[in-house]
Chain A
Amino acid sequence: MIFREVEDRDLIAKARRGDVEGYNLLVSRWEKRVFNYLLRLVANREDALDVSQDVFLKAYQNLPKLDDPAKFSGWLFRIAHNEAFSLLRKRRPESELVGDPRAAMERGLLPVELSLAVESALGRLNEDQREAVLLKIYQGFKFEEMAEILECPVSTVKSRLYTALELLKTALAPGLVRGES
Chain B
Amino acid sequence: MSCNEFDWKGYALGELSKSDRARAEAHAAGCASCREELAATRLTLDALSTLREEEVPRRIAFVSDKVFEPRWWQRVFSFVSQPTFAAACVIAAAILLHGFASPKVDQQTVESIVTRAVADSRQKYERDMKAVLEQSQQEDRLAYIQNTGLVRQ
List residues of chain B with CB within 8 A of the CB of A158: 10
CB distance from A51 to the nearest CB of B (A): 11
A60 touches B63 (CB 8 A): yes
CB distance from A174 to the nearest CB of B (A): 9
Task: Report if A115-B50 is in contact (Cβ < 8 Å); known contacts: A17-B78, A173-B43, A178-B36.
Answer: yes
Convert A21-40 into 0s and 1s, putting 1 for each residue whose CB lies closer than 8 angstroms to a CB of B: 00110010001110110010
> Does B47 interact with chain A (Cβ within 8 Å)?
yes
List residues of chain A with CB within 8 A of the CB of B41: 165, 169
Q: Is the interface of A mostly helix, strand, loop or mixed?
A: helix
A31 touches B56 (CB 8 A): yes
* In the complex, residue of chain B having the shortest beta-carbon distance to the beta carbon of A169: B44
> Does A73 interact with chain B (Cβ within 8 Å)?
no
* In the complex, residue of chain B having the shortest beta-carbon distance to the beta carbon of A18: B78
> Does B61 interact with chain A (Cβ within 8 Å)?
yes
List residues of chain B with CB within 8 A of the CB of A24: 62-64
A115 touches B63 (CB 8 A): no
A49 touches B48 (CB 8 A): no
Give the contacts of B1-53 with A (CB-CB under 8 A): 1, 9-10, 13, 15, 33, 36-37, 39-41, 43-45, 47-53
A36 partner, pick from B33, B36, B43, B53, beta carbons under 8 A: B53
CA–CA, A60 and B59, complex, Å: 16
Task: Report if A20-B64 is in contact (Cβ < 8 Å); known contacts: A165-B41, A172-B43, A178-B33.
Answer: yes
CB distance from A12 to the nearest CB of B (A): 13
* In the complex, residue of chain B having the shortest beta-carbon distance to the beta carbon of A35: B56
CA–CA, A122 and B64, complex, Å: 36
* In the complex, residue of chain A having the shortest beta-carbon distance to the beta carbon of B77: A18
List residues of chain B with CB within 8 A of the CB of A115: 50-52
CA–CA, A122 and B49, complex, Å: 12
Task: Report if A118-B61 is in contact (Cβ < 8 Å); known contacts: A39-B54, A173-B40.
Answer: no
CA–CA, A136 and B55, complex, Å: 20
> A32-B53, A176-B43 known; 7 other A-B pairs, CB under 8 Å?
A18-B78, A137-B45, A137-B49, A168-B47, A173-B40, A176-B36, A178-B37
Interface CB pairs A-B, < 8 A, 24: A17-B82, A20-B63, A20-B68, A24-B64, A31-B59, A31-B60, A36-B53, A39-B54, A49-B57, A52-B60, A53-B61, A57-B61, A60-B68, A111-B50, A114-B50, A118-B47, A118-B50, A119-B51, A138-B51, A158-B10, A165-B41, A173-B44, A173-B47, A176-B43
* Interface residues, chain B, with chain A CB atoms under 8 Å away: 1, 9-10, 13, 15, 33, 36-37, 39-41, 43-45, 47-64, 67-68, 70, 75, 78, 82
* Interface residues, chain A, with chain B CB atoms under 8 Å away: 15, 17-18, 20, 23-24, 27, 31-33, 35-36, 39, 45, 49, 52-53, 56-57, 60, 111, 114-115, 117-119, 122, 133, 136-138, 142-143, 158, 161-162, 165, 168-169, 172-173, 176-178
